[in-house]
Amino acid sequence: MRRWRYKSGAAARLRYMQAERTAKDPMLALQGVTPVALAEALSIPLAEARKVVSAVHREKDLAVPLREVRRASLDRVRAEGVVPALQLIREESSQLDPFRKLLFSDGRGELFETVRIPLERAGRFSVCVSSQIGCALACAFCATGRLGLRRNLEVWEIVEQVRWVRRGLGEGERVHGVVFQGMGEPMANLDRVIEAIRVLSDPSAQAIDARCITVCTSGLPTGIRRLARELPKVRLGLSVGSAVPQARRSLMPIDDTFSLDEVLDAAIFHAQTTGLAPMWAMTLLHGVNDGDEHAAALADRALDFTRRAGVRPRVSILAYNHIDSEEADPFSRTPRAREEAFREVMRQRGVFTHKRYSGGSDVAAACGQLAARPSTHGGTENPHACALGFEGTR
């Protein structure tokens, strides 16, 4: 009998990442595995594993026979695999733009959010996914950071966010990309994030071009370097906060552990390894990081990065989005005239910036607003939200 050999360690990584669920449910979450991992985990041929993964991601019923998959292999999949479902609690559509926010429950009392982002080309969307429930990094201008960390999301929970958005698309519409910029710090859950990206980009699964996937971070250098080595086609996004050290430290406590110098050294490694220009995101806060000295410092950092890395970072300037919370918001949006003055200082130094539109602010779907709180904006409640179960795979 022919022996099948696959990439070493794929199944071991899979089992490790699902360890938290194994004690209660030893089943494999089939939408969270690549064909290679499934083949190794269940000792079935890779060609059959591809057929099974394709069937799962195209919503086919595994209770019926699959073409070109032997009964013995399919029986093993049914015995050891399951397609768990998230609870969709609510969908909210912005009245300002075509952004849509989805609120999910993990079935254990924790909530997290996903945003469907419209792209310039009609019918194409990007999905802003969460990688954690809450976040431990506590960036002062981010609603998620004020929650603290509840837990990491599993691979299947990350992938399922994209599957949910895809189900809601109309004829001729498609998911073009994924951005890890929802709730949580992706680099702090990197094992699962990397495996989720492998699933999302696998031709048998979601078949999303890896070059259209971006992982955003507040600055964890080890994770940035690992991302470059393991997923060289995936893009990097970096939240700067401020290029002035004291201001950055006050806004982003991670700076006490990893300075901007260390983070940019890792970003240079990423750029040199992948050949991809990173995206730098700078959220302007009135009277905090929007002065001329902050603009000059950011421009100088960008010029130095270009000289050392050989690629020019894409610097995006974001308007601050008010955080709706019980506590008074300590920040306010920079006036338009001050923002233009900030951008002009950078232009005079030879650095041109992009004004990034962050939509869905009326339903708290914009950058920095995700906190999985009960809605005060209306929205469509899911009448079946309490009926969490598993989609037929047993």
Catalytic residues: 113, 367
Cβ atoms of 25 and 59 closer than 8 Å: no
SS3 state at 359: coil
Which residues, other chains included, contact 327 with Cβ-Cβ below 8 Å and sequence gap of 6+?
Answer: none
**What is the identity of the amino acid at 185?**
E
Token pair belonging to 93:
């559509």
SS3 state at 123: coil
State how far the Cα of 232 lies from the Cα of 254, in Å rounded to an integer: 25
Token pair belonging to 195:
């495996």
- String of DSSP letters for 271-335: HHHH-PPPEEEEEEBTTTT-SHHHHHHHHHHHHHHHHHHSS--EEEEEE------SSPP---BPP
State how far the Cα of 303 lies from the Cα of 321, in Å rounded to an integer: 28
H or E element: which one contains 216?
Answer: strand 213-217
